[in-house]
Amino acid sequence: MAKQGGWAGKVLRVDLSTGRISTENTVEKYRDYLGGTGIGYKVIWDEVPPGTKPFDPGNKIIFGVGPLAGTGAPCNGRTAITTLWPTCWPKPLVASGHMGGQFAAGLKYAGYDAIIIQGKADHPVWLSIMDKKVEIKDARHLWGQGIRRTTIEINQQMGPEASVAAIGQAGENLVPMSVVMNSYSHSAGGVGAVMGSKNLKAIGVVGTGSVYIAGNKEEWEKVIKLHLSLLGANNQHVVPNKPQPWAEYYNPGTRWVAAKGNKWGAAQPPIDTGPCDPHDLNRIAYRTNNAAFFLGNRAWKYTIRGNGCTGCPIRCHTMLKVPSVATKYGIPEVGQNTCVGLNFGRFFFKSFPDGAIGETAIEACMVGMHLADDLGVWCNYGQLQRDFIKIYYEGIIKNKLGEAEFKTYSWDKYEKGDPSFLFELLPRIANKEGELGTALGLGSGYMLERWGIPEQEWKKDYNLLYWKMGHPKHHSNEDAGQCGVVINTIYNRDAQCHSHANFTRNGLPIDVQKRLAAEVWGSADAVDAVGAYTPMNVYKAKMAKWTLLRKELHDCLSLCNWQGPWVASPLKERGYRGDDSIESLLYSIATGDKKSRQELDEVAERIHLLHRALTIRDMGTKEMRTQHDTIPDWVLVDKAGRPPFTKGTIHMDKADLEKGMEMFYKELGWDEKTGAPLAKTYRKFGLGYVVGDLEKKGLIP
């Protein structure tokens, strides 16, 4: 058999109940599903029956990577972790979490495209993978430890090169709001407790192999260079945030914050990020400083450098050194993370004594990262923090807790914005301690149910950004009007989709964005300027379909959807065009399976269709449009009473969104009345096998 490019070739299956370890041929069994979430959905469809609960031994957890993981392709460090989702309310359904770091490459170099974990160990264990040598090891000495110590101990056994994905106390205690984390700060939320339910503390992997590239080496290098040249800063922001000599455009909202005089002040010696001309590919890592983006110029003096995933020059995890926190809070003075992880502690507070981005806010970030990333607590894209602010300031906590428990918290500290309050709160969430800790650890949906609060209350409150099923919106109408809304209806957790937002936030003027939109989605009318929305049209539906499929494709290839797709670039000489075929170019050369952009998108469509089939099967209804693809009230309400499509409001029109859903369903070959895919659509994409099962249950329109 010819040597396979891209894929490592084996899927590892570990049964923790029996201790049996086996492998399957990836290409034979899963090629049509690429990798990542594709393998995850297929395993759940084939092997996890409806009605299984997340913490049942019968649930499976699939760590999947794709054919581009561990290659030289930029931004290839993502591992997709698919399972039945414990915070999905009122009924757990399939979903996936995604972590960056070095785990994906390590797994490939060890010879595996995925790990299927099934069953439940009778005592705490960890999984050691050293190439072909795979062992289930005793983890009783690690149980009760945080992620940091667990990682260090496993690294001491396996060697410093091992990538360790571990859970903290939150996962062990079956707290649904828990993560698995590797490489110090790269976490996947929602799955920690599923590992905990299997008594699986961690997976350590050392791979000494490599990924074979099937195609011509020169062509491969050429595509890699093209891809690198198209990269912007984090989230594919392609213009700097202030005027630069080389930049025709600038935009104060972008994450391209490098500039002459902006220095990584805690580096020895300090490093000036400089003007960062986009043609200088050796300085891509200088462009982004997410601490400075979120916390302002004060963060520069604390910045050591950026950190990130295998093969990614963006380095979106900013490493900070804040000496004051060691003496004030007794925590390490160095911490790193990105986005909500970076702001984990800060987002709990309404205000700080020295302002929203003062020294105290930075300290809150450091304390939050230290605690959450060791205990393994998940934030559900900031919903935990938004919920907390609401339930405290509206008196819900006081009402729901007994007086004795309420008094154990230093609420004066909390109101004053004292980061030390986090030491009282976060360990109690991880340890399910008391009513408040337990309720917050359930996630929004189950917390509301526990406290008898109708979900509708959350769906009305714009400040909460809550969407449905226990989860918030993730780049919705605030970013991309109808396209954002449609995308947020589809998944069983927050959408985690950036394809659309990475375009609308790229920083280019609206006329340039419209020119690019016309090239990619067929008309300039596919996009509007933010807050200047126009009624739904077919091009917006096409963009929404593309948005969805690119997210799914990235999750299967191990490319980062927080950074891609790459339809815009910072290059003036290209008219700011990116290349929408970069994924298919990389895939074709790496695997030797030549596929056009359209052909690869069709594979992504098959994979997403399987996600839809799973959702329908496990919900037991085909009425997706009314039962699943719902839109919260806050999207439809404008505080100032402005009509939809008025400049300055992001709120949307109900009838227009109904039309939008129908157009979107039509683009995907789904029934416009129910939102369920048609039998012919399943068959068209090679999923004929789901039709029989769904038909028997009356789940095909």
Partner 1 sequence: MKKEPISEETEKSFKTHEPEIIRLIQARSEAGRLVMAEEVYAELLRMGILGEDKNTFVEFDAFLKMMVAQNEDLNEIKDGKGVPYYYSTRSMVETYAQLIVRRGQDPYVLMAEVVRENSQRYPRPVPVDLFGDSPFNLTREEISACLKELASLKEYQDIQQTTTSVGNVFLYSRQYLNPDYAAMLAEWLDVGQSNNP
Sign of the alpha-carbon dihedral angle for 115, 105, 500, 299: positive
The whole-angstrom separation of Cα 502 and Cα 253 is: 12
Burial label, 571 (beta-carbon count in 10 A; 0-12, 13-18, 19+): middle
CB of residue 150 to partner 1, shortest distance in Å: 28
Choose one: 69-77, 203-211, 641-649, 659-667; the region binding partner 1 (CB under 8 A): 641-649
C-beta separation of 473 from 634 below 8 A: no
Nearer to partner 1 by Cβ, of 108 and 386: the residue is: 386
- Does 686 bind partner 1 (CB under 8 A)? Our answer is no
- The secondary structure element, H or E, covering residue 10 is strand 10-15
Among 57, 58, 209, 275, binds partner 1 (CB under 8 A): 275
Q: What is the pairing mode between strands 263-264 and 200-206?
A: unpaired
Tell me the β-bridge partners of 344. Answer: none
From first CA to last CA, the distance across the chain in angstroms is 43
Choose one: 66-74, 392-400, 489-497, 507-515; the region binding partner 1 (CB under 8 A): 507-515
- Does 359 bind partner 1 (CB under 8 A)? Our answer is no
Among 294, 414, 634, 665, binds partner 1 (CB under 8 A): 294
- Does 640 bind partner 1 (CB under 8 A)? Our answer is yes
By CB under 8 A, what part of segment 643-662 binds partner 1?
Answer: 646-650
Nearer to partner 1 by Cβ, of 340 and 691: the residue is: 340
Among 90, 243, 270, 323, binds partner 1 (CB under 8 A): 243
- Does 340 bind partner 1 (CB under 8 A)? Our answer is yes
C-beta separation of 126 from 203 below 8 A: yes
Choose one: 48-56, 130-138, 178-186, 639-647; the region binding partner 1 (CB under 8 A): 639-647
Nearer to partner 1 by Cβ, of 326 and 530: the residue is: 530
- Residues comprising the chain, all counted: 701
Among 62, 114, 292, 339, binds partner 1 (CB under 8 A): 339
Among 144, 209, 509, 644, binds partner 1 (CB under 8 A): 509
Of the candidates 70, 32, 61, 40, the one whose C-alpha atom is nearest the C-alpha of residue 558 is 70
Half-sphere exposure of 143 (CA within 13 A, CB side): 17
- Does 354 bind partner 1 (CB under 8 A)? Our answer is no
CB of residue 31 to partner 1, shortest distance in Å: 35
CB of residue 647 to partner 1, shortest distance in Å: 4
- Structure tokens, 436: 């408040």
SS (H, E, C) 313-370: CCCCEEEEECCHHHHHHCCCCEEEECHHHHCCCHHHCCCCCCCCCCHHHHHHHHHHHH
Nearer to partner 1 by Cβ, of 171 and 190: the residue is: 190
- Does 561 bind partner 1 (CB under 8 A)? Our answer is no
Among 244, 288, 336, 615, binds partner 1 (CB under 8 A): 244
The whole-angstrom separation of Cα 642 and Cα 103 is: 49
3-class DSSP state of 468: strand
- Does 642 bind partner 1 (CB under 8 A)? Our answer is yes
- The secondary structure element, H or E, covering residue 662 is helix 654-668
Among 245, 269, 395, 641, binds partner 1 (CB under 8 A): 245
DSSP secondary structure string for all residues of 190-253: T-HHHHHHTTEEEEEEE--------S-HHHHHHHHHHHHHH--BGGGB-S-SS--TT-S---TT
Q: What is the DSSP letter of 634?
A: G
Choose one: 329-337, 370-378, 642-650, 658-666; the region binding partner 1 (CB under 8 A): 642-650
By CB under 8 A, what part of segment 370-389 binds partner 1?
Answer: 382
- Does 242 bind partner 1 (CB under 8 A)? Our answer is yes
- Does 511 bind partner 1 (CB under 8 A)? Our answer is yes
By CB under 8 A, what part of segment 386-445 binds partner 1?
Answer: none
The single residue listed with the structure tokens 């068959």 is 683
CB of residue 274 to partner 1, shortest distance in Å: 9
The whole-angstrom separation of Cα 527 and Cα 521 is: 9
Nearer to partner 1 by Cβ, of 400 and 475: the residue is: 475
String of contacts with partner 1 for each residue 12-51, x by CB under 8 A:
----------------------------------------
- Does 641 bind partner 1 (CB under 8 A)? Our answer is no
Helix axes of 654-668 and 477-490: crossing angle, nearest 10 degrees? 50
Choose one: 358-366, 420-428, 527-535, 685-693; the region binding partner 1 (CB under 8 A): 527-535
CB of residue 299 to partner 1, shortest distance in Å: 12
String of contacts with partner 1 for each residue 448-487, x by CB under 8 A:
-----------------x---------x--xx--------
- Does 619 bind partner 1 (CB under 8 A)? Our answer is no
Q: Which bin fits 508, alpha (ψ -120 to 50), beta or left (φ > 0)?
A: beta
SS (H, E, C) 545-604: HHHHHHHHHHHHHCCCCCCCCCCECCCHHHCCECCCCHHHHHHHHHHCCCCCHHHHHHHH
Total of residues contacting partner 1 (CB under 8 A): 44
Angle at 665 between CA 697 and CA 485, to 5 degrees: 115
Query: By the criterion CB under 8 A, which residues form the site for partner 1?
Result: 242-249, 251-253, 259-260, 275, 277, 293-294, 339-340, 343, 355-357, 382, 465, 475, 478-479, 505, 509-511, 529-532, 572, 640, 642, 646-650
